[in-house]
Structure 1
C-alpha cells in the first residue's frame, strides 16, 4: 500500500490507549527489519530518518527504500523525518514525499521555535502532511552525562507546552520528561505526573524521544499518561552492530555481506518486535487501516505542488 500519514495512526492510538513505534533506519537492512517486524506483529509502524541518516544514505535513496517496502507491505507504514533541525531539510523532505515531518526547534529560543514552527505547519498542512515539534529539550546522553536532577532543567513545562500548541497547532508534540538520546542502558526514569499534566492542556498526541534508554515499566506508564508515539534508535543500532561483531568474531574470514547482514537484520527484527509488543500496537494494523480509510488520511505525495516549490 502507499505510504500513509502519521496523523491517522497517532489519532487512532490516542483514542485506543496504545502507542505507535517510530524506529530509526540508517540503511536498507534496518528499514527492511522494521517492516518485517511490523508485518509479523500486524502493527502500524513509523520508519524515521534523522538528518544524520539523510547525510549518510541520501534523502532520495533512503526514501526510495522505505517507499518501496511500504508498497509491498500489508501494514500501514509512515516515512517520517526525525529531528529536522534545518529549515531547508524539512522543506526538502516535504518535497521528496515524506509523509510525516518533525521540526526540532528546541535549540532556539521559545519565541523563535514558535515562529518557525508556525511557518512549517502552514506549509505542511497545505499539502496534507502532519508536523511534529519539540518543546523543552531531550538531551544527548553522550555529550551531557547528566544526573536525574540536572536533567530537570531541560523538562517541558505544561504552561510552555500549552502556549506552544495553541500558537502553532502542531499535529504532535515531543516533550522532555526524563529521557535522553543515545543511552545504551535502560536506566531513565520518567516524570509520569508531568506527562499527565501536559496531556491535560495539549490537544495533540505526545511523543517520547530517546526511549531506548527508558525502563520498560516507565514506557508503559508513559503511554497510560498520554504518550502516543515512542522513538527508538539506539536499541536498533545495538542489535545490528552486536550481531555483526558476533558474526565476524566467530568467522574473521567472512567477507560476504549477505551472510552477516542477514543475521544482523534478523536480530533487529527481534528487537523491533519486542518494542512493538511493549507499546501495545500488535494486531492493530487492520483496525488502523479501517480508521485511515474512513477518515481519508491516505496520502500519496504529488511532486510539483506550488506550495513547496
Structure 2
C-alpha cells in the first residue's frame, strides 16, 4: 500500500473521536515491528524518525528514511512518515526531498516570542511544500541530554489561552502540549491532567499531541483521547520490549553470535507493544 499522509490520518482520527499512534523508528527492525503491529491491529500508524535517531545514524537521514518508506509501502497497513523533534533547520528542509508528509518543529526551548517566530517560519516553509507541521508549547521533560523535569512543577504545563494564541500566530497543524507526561519513562506511572486536556481541546483549533505516552497507563491514555488528545507518541515502550527480549536471549545463549536469533524475538515483542497501544485508541 502506498504511503498516506500524517495529516490525513490525524484528521480521520479526530473526526471519529479516536486517537492515532506515532511510533519512533530507530532501526529497520523498529519500522518492521510497527508495520506488523499495525497490520495485526487493523489500524493505521505513523512512523516517526526523530532528530536524535538521525544523529544515531551519523547525521544521515536518507538511509533510515528510505528503509521506513520501503517498509510502509510493502505493508497492508496505512502508514505515514513523520520527522520528529527537529531543531536543526537544515534537517527540517531535508524532510521534503526524503518524502516526509509531516514534521514536528521543536522550538520549545526558545522564549515564547522566539518560538512563535521560528515556528511560523517553519510552517510557511512546510505549507509551501504540502508538509503538515506540528509544534510544542509547554515543557514535556525527559528528552535526551536535558536535566530531569518535574511534569507537575508550576509553569511547566501548557496554558490554554497561550496555546490558542500560539496556534493563531504560527498556523501550526497540530500542537504537542504538556499535561503531565514525560519523555523516556520506563514505568507507566504518569498521571495526566484530564481537565487541562479538555480545556486545551476546547481552546485550540488544532489537534493535540501527547508526547511521552510510553509512561502513561492504559486507562490514562483512553481518558486522554476521550478528553480530546489525538496524536499519541510512543517511543521508549518499543525500546523496553526490544531490549528485554535481547537480554533474555543473550542470557540464555551466552555463546550465540547470530544477531538474527535475538533480533527476531525483539522485533516480535515490539510488534506486540505496537498492537497493544493501537488497541487503546479506538
TM-score w.r.t. structure 1 length?
0.87
What corresponds to 1:224 in structure 2? 226
CA distance in 2, matches of 1:271, 1:76: 18
Q: 229-238 or 53-62, which moves further after superposition?
A: 53-62
Shift of 1:94: 2.5
What corresponds to 2:111 in structure 1? 109
Deviations 1:48-101 (A, max 9, x none): 111111112331111111111111122211111111112221112233221110
CA distance in 2, matches of 1:66, 1:148: 32
Shift of 1:183: 0.8
What corresponds to 1:294 in structure 2? none
- Structure 1 segment 162-173 matched on structure 2, within 5 A: 162-173=164-175
With over 3 angstroms needed to count, the CA separation of the structure-2 counterparts of 1:139 and 1:148, relative to structure 1, is closer
Secondary structure at the residue paired with 1:161?
helix
CA distance in 1, matches of 2:171, 2:280: 29
What corresponds to 2:43 in structure 1? 43
Deviations 1:128-157 (A, max 9, x none): 11000001110117854455542x421000
- Structure 1 segment 1-309 matched on structure 2, within 5 A: 1-57=1-57, 58-140=60-142, 144-147=147-150, 149-150=152-153, 152-280=154-282
Verify the 8 A CA contact 2:140 2:151 in the aligned structure 1: no
Query: How much is the aligned-residue C-alpha RMSD, in angstroms?
Result: 1.4
CA distance in 2, matches of 1:182, 1:208: 13
Verify the 8 A CA contact 1:28 1:62 in the aligned structure 2: yes
More contact order relative to length (CA 8 Å, sep ≥ 6): 1
Could you list the runs of 5+ residues in structure 1 that have no partner in the other structure?
A: 281-309
CA distance in 2, matches of 1:68, 1:128: 21
With over 3 angstroms needed to count, the CA separation of the structure-2 counterparts of 1:119 and 1:148, relative to structure 1, is closer
Verify the 8 A CA contact 1:3 1:99 in the aligned structure 2: no
What count of residue pairs does the alignment treat as equivalent?
Answer: 279
Write out the 4+ residue segments of structure 1 that deviate beyond 4 Å after TM superposition. Answer: 141-148
Secondary structure at the residue paired with 1:279?
coil
CA distance in 2, matches of 1:109, 1:76: 37
With over 3 angstroms needed to count, the CA separation of the structure-2 counterparts of 1:148 and 1:122, relative to structure 1, is closer
Shift of 1:119: 1.0
Deviations 1:86-131 (A, max 9, x none): 2221112233221110001100011111111111111111121100
Which structure carries more helix by proportion? 1
Secondary structure at the residue paired with 1:21?
strand
CA distance in 2, matches of 1:91, 1:231: 22
CA distance in 2, matches of 1:101, 1:149: 27
CA distance in 1, matches of 2:105, 2:133: 7
Verify the 8 A CA contact 1:49 1:80 in the aligned structure 2: yes
Verify the 8 A CA contact 2:141 2:150 in the aligned structure 1: no
Deviations 1:210-249 (A, max 9, x none): 0011122111111011100001111000011110000000
Could you list the runs of 5+ residues in structure 2 that have no partner in the other structure?
A: none
